[in-house]
Amino acid sequence: MSVLAYISQQTVAEEISTCQDYCKDYGWLISSLDEVSQSFTVTMESPIDQQQFIIHFSYDNYPETPYLIDFIHPESKIKGTPAAYPKYSGDSFFNQYNTQGVICHPCSRKSYSGYTGIHADWQVSSWRTIAGGLTNLCAILDTIYSRISNRQYYVGRMV
C-alpha cells in the first residue's frame, strides 16, 4: 500500500514544524520541501571540528516506510559516499557498507533489503516497531547531532 504524496508532504511538514526549536537552538538549517522529488535536506555542523554535514531525506511513502536518509558531501556534492558521513566509534549507527555510507538503523530505508541490503532480515513494513524512539524527524536529527557532538567517540568523517 502506498501513501499519497500529499499525505507524506503534510506529515513531513508537521514534523519539521515540531523541530523548529531544535533548529534554532543547534543551528540546523532545513531546506524547503521539494514536492517533485519528495525530499529535503538538513545541514548541521559538528561543534567539535566545525565539519558541515548535509543530510538528505527522501520521504516518498512516508510514514508507511521510513525516510531514505543519506549524506551529501558539502564540497563534492556527492550523495552516499563514505566521505560525506560522520565517523563515530561509539556504535555502528554510521556505517560503511561496500562503497557506501549508511545509517545502520531501522529509521533509514537505506538499511533495508532493496537498498543496501545491510539488514535483509528487517521488514520495512514494521519499521516503527523496530526503530525504538527514532520514528520522527526530531528524534533522528537529535540522534545524529548527539553523535557529531560527542568528544569521546566522534572522529570527523569516515574517509
Residue-wise pLDDT tens digits, 14-30: 999 999 999 999 999 99
The percent of residues in the chain predicted with pLDDT above 90, rounded, is 92
Average pLDDT, the chain: 96
- In CATH, the architecture of 5-157 is Roll (3.10)
DSSP class of residue 124 equals: G
The answer to whether residues 59 and 69 touch, using CB atoms and an 8 Å cutoff, is no
Number of neighbours of residue 143 by Cβ within 10 angstroms: 16
Confidence bin at 92 (pLDDT 50/70/90): very high
Tens of pLDDT, residues 104-119: 999 999 999 888 878 9
Check pLDDT > 80 for residue 64: yes
Q: What are the sequence ranges of the domains in the chain?
A: 5-157
- pLDDT-based confidence at residue 1 (cuts at 50, 70, 90): low
C-alpha cell at 24: 534554532
